[in-house]
Structure 1
Amino acid sequence: MRIERITEAATVHRAADLFDGPPLPDATAKFLAAPGHHLLMAFEGDRALGMVTGVEMTHPDKGTEMFLYELGVAPHARLRGVGTALVEALAEVARERGCYGMWVGTEQDNEAAQKTYRKAGASDEEPFLLLSWDVTQPRSEDGQT
């Protein structure tokens, strides 16, 4: 198995089954072109086994950390260490880029993801509440969308 940094949209689209949904052409191009955005894929021969994406995030009083955005492993390649190898490779990119840490969020019932992240060296942090905004919809005067 080899892991490569992906810079060409065609490679992403050929490995579409590794993502939650079909890669969007404009979003793929924007992600690949953005400094601080990283897409790594694991291959066996020419066959993509898995992918991980990371985004560098910088804050004035904290420095730069790596956000592990998404990890996907093809069903036929699971339980072979592909996910762990991809997470470790992204952590190496983070070290090379001068990040002080790396973090990920996952669902509390996603045991496979938690096991993979812990195997790759992650430790549990204090639980937190995640709040999100749907910024595609205008807010009404009562604050609802």
Structure 2
Amino acid sequence: MRIERIVDASAVHEAANLFDSPPLPMATARFLADPTHHLLLAYDDDGRPVGMISGVETTHPDKGTEMLIYELGVAPDARLQGVATALVRTLADIARRAGCYGMWVGTEPDNVAAKATYRKAGASEEAPFVLLNWDLVATPGT
């Protein structure tokens, strides 16, 4: 397995099956243009993309910079082979080199596979939290 940081939109579109939805060209270009946004793809020995992770560095005046794992995906036939763990560890290495003081991710309480992957890659569970969301595309006032 090989893991690469992606800077070319064509690689993203070739790995479209790893994302929740087809990558949007303008959003892909914007994401890749920002040096604090990170997209890694894992390739199998045949050069086929089998996993992806995206991370975003966030900085706050009183905390410094940390890495947010935004999304992690592995092709169904490549699961349980260490792809996700390797992607998380590689992103953590990038975060360390970037001077991040920490890295975090949110996942659903019943997502056993995700929690196992993150723990295997060195994460520890903190206190539970509530996620509140604004749908900024929905009709105003609804």
Per the normalisation by structure 2, the TM-score is 0.96
Q: RMSD of the alignment, in Å?
A: 0.9
1:112 aligns with 2:126: no
State how far apart, in whole Å, the 1-side matches of 2:112 and 2:139 are.
Answer: 36
Letter in 1 for 2:8: E
In structure 2, what is the equivalent of residue 73 of structure 1? 74
Shift of 1:138: 5.4
1:86 aligns with 2:87: yes
State how far apart, in whole Å, the 1-side matches of 2:111 and 2:125 are.
Answer: 14
Shift of 1:135: 1.7
Per the normalisation by structure 1, the TM-score is 0.94
Shift of 1:35: 2.0
| CA deviation profile, 1:63-110 (whole Å, cap 9, x unmatched) | 000000000000110000000000000000000000000000001111
State how far apart, in whole Å, the 1-side matches of 2:47 and 2:8 are.
Answer: 15
State how far apart, in whole Å, the 1-side matches of 2:78 and 2:106 are.
Answer: 23
Letter in 2 for 1:114: K
State how far apart, in whole Å, the 2-side matches of 1:63 and 1:57 are.
Answer: 8
Identify unmatched segments of 5+ residues in structure 1.
none
Structure having the higher Rg: 1
In structure 1, what is the equivalent of residue 6 of structure 2? 6
Q: How many residues align?
A: 141
State how far apart, in whole Å, the 1-side matches of 2:90 and 2:35 are.
Answer: 18
State how far apart, in whole Å, the 1-side matches of 2:136 and 2:111 are.
Answer: 27
Runs of 4+ in 1 over 2 A off after TM superposition: 136-139
- Percent of pairs identical after alignment? 67
State how far apart, in whole Å, the 2-side matches of 1:94 and 1:5 are.
Answer: 13
Matches within 5 A, 1:38-53: 38-44=38-44, 45-53=46-54
